[in-house]
Amino acid sequence: MNKENHQVLLEIKDLHKEYDTRTVLDGIHLQVHKGEVIVVLGPSGCGKSTLLRCLNGLESIQGGDIQFDGESLVGPNVNWQKTRQKIGMVFQNYELFPHMTVIENILLGPIKVQNREKKEVMEQATQLLERVGLSDRKDSYPRQLSGGQKQRIAIVRALCMNPEIMLFDEVTAALDPEMVREVLDVILGLAKQGMTMMIVTHEMGFAQAVADRILFIDEGKVCEMSEPKEFFTNPKTERAQQFLNIFQF
Chain residues that interact with ligand ATP, rule: CB under 6 A: 19, 24, 42, 44-50
- Least Å distance, CB 172 to ligand ATP, is 13
Q: Which residue, 47 or 142, has its beta carbon nearer to ligand ATP? A: 47
- Least Å distance, CB 54 to ligand ATP, is 9
- Least Å distance, CB 81 to ligand ATP, is 22
Q: Which residue, 49 or 105, has its beta carbon nearer to ligand ATP? A: 49
What's the rounded Cα separation, in Å, for the pair 216 and 233? Answer: 14
- Least Å distance, CB 195 to ligand ATP, is 22
Give the three-class secondary structure for 206.
Answer: helix
Q: Which residue, 45 or 133, has its beta carbon nearer to ligand ATP? A: 45
- Least Å distance, CB 202 to ligand ATP, is 7
Q: Which residue, 41 or 134, has its beta carbon nearer to ligand ATP? A: 41
Q: Which residue, 19 or 97, has its beta carbon nearer to ligand ATP? A: 19
- Least Å distance, CB 43 to ligand ATP, is 7
Q: At what angle do helices 177-192 and 147-159 cross, to 10 degrees?
A: 20
Q: Which residue, 45 or 189, has its beta carbon nearer to ligand ATP? A: 45
- Least Å distance, CB 44 to ligand ATP, is 3
Q: Which residue, 142 or 220, has its beta carbon nearer to ligand ATP? A: 220
Where in 140-227 does DSSP place strands (E)? 165-169, 196-200, 213-218, 221-226
Nearest to 216 by CA among 181, 242, 194, 187: 242
